[in-house]
Amino acid sequence: MSTTSRMPRLVIAAPSSGSGKTTVATGLMAALTESGLDVSPHKVGPDYIDPGYHTLAVSLEGRPGRPPRPGRNLDAYLCGPERVAPLFLHGAAGADLAVVEGVMGLYDGAAGQGELASTAQVAKLLRAPVVLVVDGSSQSRSVAALVHGFATFDPEVRLAGVILNKVGSPRHEELLREALEIVGVPVLGALHRSRQVRTPSRHLGLVPAAERHAEAVEAVRAMAAQVRESVDLTALLALAHSAPPLPDEPWSPEGEGPVAGGEPVVAVAGGPAFTFSYAEHAELLAGAGARVVSFDPLRDERLPEGARALVVGGGFPEVYAAELSANEPLRAAVAAFEGPVVAECAGLLYLCRELDGSPMCGLLDARARMTDRLTLGYREAVAVADNVLAAAGTRVRGHEFHRTAVDPPAGTAPAWGVVRPERRTEGFATGRVHASYLHVHWAAEPELPRRLVAACLEGRGGR
């Protein structure tokens, strides 16, 4: 059995959103890294922002000779339950232990689909012990009933400990600990209220770490200090080492190997405006034979040398609309680019004629604007026709998360036909361009990046 399959691991969960699991998980990752351990960070669900803080947490001390470990997502809806453990083992390879932050409440998952994509399901798939972060700010003895319910709701979930958060005083902590003695779930720490660990939010959640690096570093260090002072790290490490071996084999981005024909350069947008990307996407492009090069649409005035395809993922272009618009040389370069272009969500907005009145690249005959309406949720979709990313009939699962709208919402050749939860067409698939609001995890559909690399090699554009 491989060393990776014996990976020590913990899942940090909570009864509901807002309980403080991001603070605890990020602080724990940073504290363990500071102690000299190589920590692999993971996040349940499709969220891109928390993994950015996780990456920062395990990077503060540096890993000589090795690049920072990226925060990775484990999403049973997007990737299928059968890929959760293999993706976990791939991401955690070579680490000393892994910390997995949950999503929403422990038992919350895809709406109307039982436990699918919940933290509880992922914990079971990983055979990992769960530590419940409980907001104790407005309760005392009632915490026992809460924890008892979560511990007994699903016997297959191993709820192995509790960390109390937002504790008001030493007396309050004492009352909470006394109440939990009758439940039989050990209290592994108690964090008191702290202003230092607060992180700012806006319309889609936390402000990404890449947008506020200096402040984010300070906040993560404060989280680490609070966890180090208030949590029993020795007990948590022992708990992580109690996880049994996994029977799965690690996932591999190599798949069928490189597409024959060369090593095309695929330029991937990054920087503060485009921070949403799953780590496996670049790995899959490389596995298909591409050379992946990043560029920053806020600062770079030229596309990477020899680029044969562009990938523009998610992020917050609406926050940087003026700056993106002001970079006229790069907008012109994108507009004149002749190779395949794949864009998701923020990338879709960047390719439009304008965003909130600011000129964008103009590859799409559409206009984008901010709205008051949040569009959020999992989707099932099918490729309407052959395009540079997907063959006609390809079925995918994706996720939407935005407060913008595009007019029109779909082109005459849509990117996807959404079939669940409602039926509609969405996005644009015009020759060499595929642009959509739908975030798709390519690990579930490795033919998508292979098709993109093949399109480069077949001569469908590029300079």
* Contact present, 190 and 173 (Cβ < 8 Å): yes
Starting at the edge strand found earlier in the chain, the sheet holding 159-167 runs: 72-74, 39-44, 97-101, 9-13, 130-135, 159-167, 187-192
Quote the DSSP letter at residue 275: -
Active site residue 456: no
Residue 277 is classified by DSSP as -
Catalytic residue among 345, 352, 361, 456: 345
Q: What is the DSSP letter of 251?
A: P
Measured distance CA(52)–CA(208) in Å, rounded: 7
CB environment 360-373: b (16+ within 10 A), e (fewer)? bbebbebbbebeee
How far apart (Å, rounded) are the C-alpha atoms in residues 261 and 128?
43
Cβ–Cβ under 8 Å, residues 253 and 287: yes
| Helices (H), ranges, 9-128 | 21-34, 49-57, 76-79, 81-92, 119-126
Look up residue 38 and give its two tokens: 């190589």
- Taking the CA atoms of residue 302, residue 307, residue 312 and residue 318 in that order, the dihedral angle to the nearest 10 degrees is 10
Strand 395-407 relative to strand 367-382, pairing:
antiparallel
Whole-angstrom Cα distance, residue 36 to residue 54?
A: 16
Rounded CA separation 78/74 (Å)? 9
Q: Which residue has tokens 């006394």?
A: 178
Return the SS3 of 397. Answer: strand
- Which of 446, 412, 113, 452 minimizes the C-alpha distance to 312? 452
Please state, in angstroms and rounded to a whole number, the distance separating the CA atoms of residues 26 and 22.
6
* Residue 375 structure tokens: 């569009």
Return the SS3 of 290: coil
CA 15 – CA 42 distance, rounded (Å): 19
| Residue 376 · residue 355 · CB < 8 Å | no
The span from the CA of 393 to the CA of 384, in Å, is 6
- The catalytic residues are 345
